[in-house]
Chains A and B, each alone.
Chain A
Amino acid sequence: MKLIKTFAILIVIVAVFGGAMFALNFYTGPIIEANNAGAANARLDAVMPDGAKAYEDITATLTLPEKFVSPANDKRTAEIVAVHKETKNDFGYVVEVAWTSEDTHGSEPNLVLVGISTDGKIINVNNEGYHDTDAYNIFNKDPKYTSTFIGKDSALADVGTVSGSTHSSESFRSAVSFSFEVLVSNNMITAGVKSDAQILEELIPTVTKGYGKLAEATASGNIVKALKAENETGFAYIVTEGDASFLAIVNATGACAVYNVEGADVTADKAAIVTEAKAHAAANQTNYTQVLTDKLGKLMEGAASITNIEVKTFNTVASAVTFTAENTTYYAFLSRSIGWDSRVMNIYYIIDGNGAIVKTDADQYVFEEHDFKEYGGFLGLPENYREGFVGITGDTFTGNEVIISAATMSSNAIKAATEDIFAAFDSVKGGAQ
């Protein structure tokens, strides 16, 4: 009886307060819903102007472009995740792009939100979820980097990369650029017009390999912009001829290639540009022939008839020579490949006439350097590391032979160097020389 009376009283109390809250909910319910919607939209608001906003997810109504894969490196990708339209004030669109670089770890990509106005200009950019190497976090290295995108159209003119974090910042830039793709292809905004110089500059990573971050050098004559490779293995020039602009690449061995804005190789037709570019490079390029020759004397006894050769590849090869030893012709290459912490390694290779590596060495591999131990806890080379290269040819080289798990960045640089000298060797053997 007592129990029943107790429960009866409790039920009455629940009913009374339940009724009161039910009535109150008519008043507070809509306000709470609006607050919750606001909280969910906070991440979209971050890339939109101030003011009251409402969003509609229009992803399903659009034709999304194919996932972007960078020609410079297939680990650099960008993919459209969602597109939201701001409906209250017609501020524009928020595009969510998932992006990766060669330094992205784990299974989750990075995510960037790009706010784009209806006239095709960036309102703001905000990156959520960063999974690249933490030591090269572009947003820590340069907290103002995202602000360089504000106000730009799809051309992203004058938006550069973050020094010391080239991989991640180039991938991030590509992702932001790709965010325009879905809006342009669905005729929601007009694409920005890139200048010829910008198009040609964006061509550089596709026609060169391993140049690193380019630094601006003094231009002259018809050369309107001169860019020097970080590892000093070449120059890239934007050259004007009349109303047209061209890209001229000169490597450290003196070879030159010229491209037009369509990306076509027009070297044969642009002799004047080739001459001017080569002249500028010869005056400014560091000559590594002596460096290679000096090393050669230590690597192989009796090296004679050392002759400089010009290789027609535009990668990390800084010098190439032929020589004879014991009546056999060999080819020697110096590659300046960029490893951990943007450190350049001088790596030397001697290849026989059949394209097999006879010997290799480096002035100092990055992971032999004292302060690398502080970073990776790894010091020194595995046993017989250098000997492991002997006999490898361009056809048999897989790359796995050179990778060291505790020093992937630098050993990948060695892998790239090895690939580059094989490419250089092929260009020498397959060319006129």
Chain B
Amino acid sequence: MTIAPEAPAYTGPIAHLSREDVEQLGRELDAIRQDVLDTRGERDAAYIHKVIKVQRSLELGSRAILLGSIFPPAFVVGTVGLSIAKILDNMEIGHNIMHGQWDWMRDPKIHSSVWEWDNASTSEGWKHSHNELHHTYTNIVGKDNDLGWGIMRVDEEQRWTPASLAQPLMNFLNMCIFEYGIAAYDLELGKMRRLKKSGRDMPEGWHEMARNTVKKIRRQAFKDYVAHPLLSMATLSGPTTLVANLTANFVRNVWTHSVIMCGHFPEGVETFELKDIPENETRGEWYVRQMLGSANISGSKFLHLMSGNLSHQIEHHIFPDLPSNRYAEIAPKVRALFDKYGLNYHSAPMPQQVASAWHKVLRLSLPNGFLESTNVRNAPKQFGKLIKAVRGDTRTRRRLLKEFEAAGAASVGKAV
């Protein structure tokens, strides 16, 4: 993509906007932000205090009920309650507090610098990889590790390799053990392995961070899989408590993974190449990248709460440090700006967004054009070619990939 000197950085969906339009849009978003800052106060503080209180009561109550989890109703109620409590802790409470959304309250217990969450990854590591990297380099391929967590092909422009075929499975496994996936990804394990292989030193502080993560994982696992089950042994409910805790962590993993996939992965959400980002990206340009690189989930108040208001991913990415309870309130204003500037406000119900995100994972696990050009009739032939592409040498593979791409383009053209 080449950039005309006067054109904004990203052509495509914003080709119709002038540089001045982009900056004006930035100013209008700034005004929305200022509006919230000016009215931030008692009502917002009461909100987070209430959510924290509800979460703690729910967790305490559920754990108490699980002490008698040998009785099936207690098992069911306790497991459901604990799952919800863990999700609230991670999403609406932990994620948002660690963003500094509540730092303005000057409450030394509810502050991004001290908050710790019920998750394998340490708040320290997560704040670095999430706040600093993901929110700064949103959807820039290769810079934003959230995009495929460094283990997936997330953009057509990334080279397809036979290993890409495994990514739906990888994504599924990552979903099941998501809290550990995040912990590994916060430590940038993949990158560190490469560093080690090439004989280079780990970055300063990495070893300490790794030690802290191991310590945290141990403490977390001991609590859920040893201490609580042991306490339940008084009523012979140890094994059921263990299963309940495993289930709650699993449910939390699947839920958070799904919500996060919906944020940036559904089909139609833009990804960016580093080379297309101007060196001095203006505030307006940064806003536009956040607007086009995020997707919302529409749904009930309960869904918004359980998603940590990441269902308002667009609003969150534009204003990551505004209190989460305000995202729903400003959403209509933000949406009006999308309409005014002719941008696509990507929002859909959760099942649709999850399906769309998985579709993208599956589509990109296959060579470009493969999915589009395959139908029931030509399937055996297509798969034969695919196997050839996996087994063949580089030249054969390159030729076949080109064929797929051409066939894909042709069939899309026909459909239109």
- Is chain B a partner of chain A in the same complex? no
> Chain B residues in contact with chain A, CB under 8 A?
none
